[in-house]
Structures are given as C-alpha cells and as structure tokens.
Chain A
Amino acid sequence: MNGKVIVITSGKGGVGKTTATASIGAALALEGKQVAVVDMDIGLRNLDVVMGLENRIVFNVVDAIKGKCKIKQAAIKDRRIDSLYLFPASQSDNKDVLTPESMVRFCKDLRKEFDYILLDCPAGIERGFENSVAPADEALVICTPEVSSVRDADRVIGLLLSKSITPRLIVNRIIPEMVERGDMLSHQDVVDVLSIELIGLVEMDDQVVIATNTGISPVLQKGSKAGEAFKRIAQRLNGRKDIPIEVPQVNKSIWKKIGQKLGLG
C-alpha cells in the first residue's frame, strides 16, 4: 500500500480544521479506505475529543515518532468505523519535539498501512505548520467566509505553493441567509481572492456542535448538511470528479416559494 498524505490547514484558528479532519477521515473510511488521522497540534490536542476517543489514549504520536512505542500501539481505532484510526497528539510536549524530517519518516511508515493519512495542522505558520506540511502530498485549505480567515488562508496558500503543493479549498460555515442578505462573503468572493481549486462548500450546521460534544461524527448523522458536504468532499478526494459542488441554498417554505412564483415575495 502506498497511502496519500493530506494536510488540512487554514492559517487561522477556529475555522473548523479539526472537525473537517475528523469528518473527512470518517467519510473516507466509510468509503472502505484505511484511514489514519493524525493530530499535529502537539501540546493542544483536540482531535481525540472531537472523535470521542480521549479516554482511550495510552501512547501518542510523539511516542511513536520518538520510538517509545510501536506505531500500531499509538493508533486508536474509532468506536464506530473499523478502518479509521487516530494518532493523538501529546498534551505535555510542544511543537519543537518534532522535526519536518521525523514527520517525513513517520509518514513513510504510515503510507505502508493506510490509504489516506490526514494531518490536522495546528493554527499558525510556525513549527507545527512546517512539521505538518513537510510530508504532505496534497493540502486542503479550510476557510470561513470572513475577511480575517481569507487573509490567513491566502498566506498559507502562498506558503504551500512555495513548497510546490497545490492546495484545494473548502469554504466552511457558510450561512446562506446571510450571504443572500449581503452580510457574508459568498463562496465566489472567497474563491475570487484565493483562486485555487474548490473541493467543497460546507454549510453552518448546528449538528456539528452536537457531534463535537458527543464524539459522533456528523457524517454518521442523518440529515446533517455539513456531514453530507464532508461526504461529498471525501468522494471527490477519492477521485470521484463527477460529484458536483453543491452551493448551500436558503431553505424556503412551500408558501414562500408559491408566493414568489406568483410575484408576491
């Protein structure tokens, strides 16, 4: 097996990198792939909580890289999806314990066992970012429709391009009502500035908050718009180029729709 290493990054914090990593990882695993998700936020681990696996951690990614344990010992199997594994971050170390070279070696080993290795990159463009990007074949940049997020994503895209990685874009937390009112940047505005290939649009979804707290991935929840969007992103990552990018739309009641048809709305 020769797995693909994909880094999920954004520059800015709090835009949904960790949720996206967990969700895309789960969706890829549901497609029947062997998937490893690696929390690269050494010192501030979150991915284990989002996946509901925090009480199962014995060894972490730093232990595995430093040789304190075998790689298999650090991998935590997901509770619901058999082919999904988590490599949790260390909470007591800081980002300097890892080096880009050690990450390249670690991912070389992981490639033999997994189809996809998703790296949840920490916010910022310092050591944690360097460590996460060094072994990556591909990159997904997460951006919310906010000026500050676009600015940071732009910076990160520049850095990725300078390392010969062509990233793809996910616009997260779109609120269609606000976009329609003109209070939020549209995904088109974001793409115009960042000018990279779009791989998916994710709507703001309350289910994600519930999923994060319960540790059950949104892709396993029926009717979760974000979950569906992440599933489509996973399929596109998996080579299904025919799946269209769905633009989040305002849900209108049947009476409003009829009213609009009649020219009343």
Chain B
Amino acid sequence: MQTNDEPSARLIGIREGLLLTLKPETPLVDLKAEIERVFQQAGNLARNAKVVIDWGNDQEYPELEQEIAALLVDSFQVAMVLRHQEPPKESLARDRQPRRYDISRSWQRSDALILAGRIRSGQNIEGRHHVVILGDVNPGAEIRAGGDIIVLGTLGGVALAGHPENEDAFVFAMDFKPLQIQIGRVIAIGTGPTMAKTPEIAFVQNGLITVVSYVNENPFSKYPYPMIR
C-alpha cells in the first residue's frame, strides 16, 4: 500500500514551533519508535519547542495524544504539545462573528404590538414599541407607537410613530392615505384622497417627513446585514 511507504511520523518546522504529522492507524509501538527517530534527528531543535500534532484528518485521538505528549515531554523536553487546528483567518473570523449571532438565534427581542382587524374611527391604539396592524386603519382612528408603525392594509387615520421623540421611526402602509403623520416631533399632513393603492413608507429626512414608494425605493434593501429595530 502506498501509505505504508510513507513514514508514519514526520516533523517539520512551522512558525509557532514544530508540526508533527502522524498516521493514527499505525500501532502505538511503531509510532513511538518513529517519533523517537525523527526527534533524535531534530536534536536540540525540539528542546522547549511547541509541538503541534496533526493526525491528517478531522478525528480526535485523545489517548494517543496523551501517550505521545508524555513521551515528548519526558524524552525530548518539549515545552508543550497541542492538537493541530485550522488556523483562523483574520477576515473570516470577523465575518463569522455576526453569523454565529444569527445562527444561534440570539437576536435581542424586538417588541411589537400586533393587532389583526379593522381599527375604526374613534379607536386609539397605543403601543410602547412597534405597532403592527394586520387590517385597515379607518379615518378618525389613531395609532400611537414608541417605535415604528406598520399597517398591512389601508392607513386612513392618524399615525404617530416614534412617540414622543424618536425620529428614527418609520410609518409603513400597504395603502398609504393617512390624515396626518407624526414621527418624533415632526408632523406632516396627508395629501387628501387618492385612488391609487401604493405601498409607501414615511421617515424623517433632513428634519422633514419624506414619503417614498416602498416598491421603488425599499430603503431596507440597502442594509447589508439584518438589523434589529
């Protein structure tokens, strides 16, 4: 077999110390003999060196490792024996941080009051954080939220987002026809009745409330990574 032709232990110098490549299928006695041979060749280089064991695969052999570590420390006075791991690359490490955040579902909570149904004239809905209405908000109704207001239907009433003074909040409606919008302390009045049903979003820009078509602009699509609101 080809594997038998290759030595069962090889020692090469790496930046951190010495990399000892071993074949885990070799019997322990043979392996030890081979290790002694390569370390005798290395001579004083091994003294106080950091030895990293590489098994050539992903598996772990803790008992073998213990035996070999004991042998290396006793016979060749190495400083420490470690198991080989893929060195983390700098850029990858930075990327992985938020991903782990995503995968482990450790998003901090984003509170929202979610109501389904029609909000009629004279009804006032008040949410400490975001308010989501699955239905229509009729003219004469008022939605007041500490955060954002999302109406999956027609917004015909008054919407006060970011109450009292959070101007980062937005107001979104599938059919955007509010009587009045207030975001933080900025106020805008509705433009009157329109026939078109367009999903629009209102936010504060340069101290003024700006309303844009959600379909054309989609401001959140510009975020490279999800953000908690």
Contacts and interface: CB of A to CB of B under 8 A. Distances in A.
A199 interface: no
A147 B122 CA distance: 15
A161 B123 CA distance: 12
B118 A151 contact: no
Contacts of B140: 151, 154-155
Contacts of B218: none
B17 interface: no
A195 interface: yes
What secondary structure prevails in chain B residues at the interface with A?
loop
Contacts of A161: 120
Interface string B18-43: 00000000000000000000000000
A195 B118 contact: yes
Contacts of A157: 120
B118 A155 contact: no
Contacts of A159: 122
Contacts of B123: 158
A152 B140 CA distance: 9
Interface residues of A, number: 12
A158 B139 CA distance: 13
Interface in A157-196: 157-159, 161, 193, 195
Contacts of A151: 121, 138-140
Interface residues of B, number: 10
A152 B118 CA distance: 15
Interface string B22-66: 000000000000000000000000000000000000000000000
Interface in B139-165: 139-140, 156
Nearest to A152: B121
Contacts of A154: 120-122, 138-140
A147 B136 CA distance: 16
B171 to A, nearest CB: 20
B174 to A, nearest CB: 14
Interface in A193-242: 193, 195
B180 to A, nearest CB: 15
A157 B136 CA distance: 15
A155 B140 CA distance: 8
A235 B54 CA distance: 91
A148 B138 CA distance: 12
A228 B214 CA distance: 48
A159 B122 CA distance: 9
A239 B122 CA distance: 32
Given A147-B139, A152-B121, A193-B138, 4 more contacts: A154-B122, A155-B122, A193-B156, A195-B136
Interface of B: 118, 120-123, 136, 138-140, 156
25 contacts: A150-B139, A151-B121, A151-B139, A152-B121, A154-B120, A154-B121, A154-B122, A154-B138, A154-B139, A154-B140, A155-B120, A155-B121, A155-B122, A155-B140, A157-B120, A158-B120, A158-B121, A158-B122, A158-B123, A159-B122, A161-B120, A193-B138, A193-B156, A195-B118, A195-B136
The 7 closest A-B pairs by CB, nearest first: A158-B120, A154-B121, A155-B122, A155-B121, A154-B120, A151-B140, A154-B138
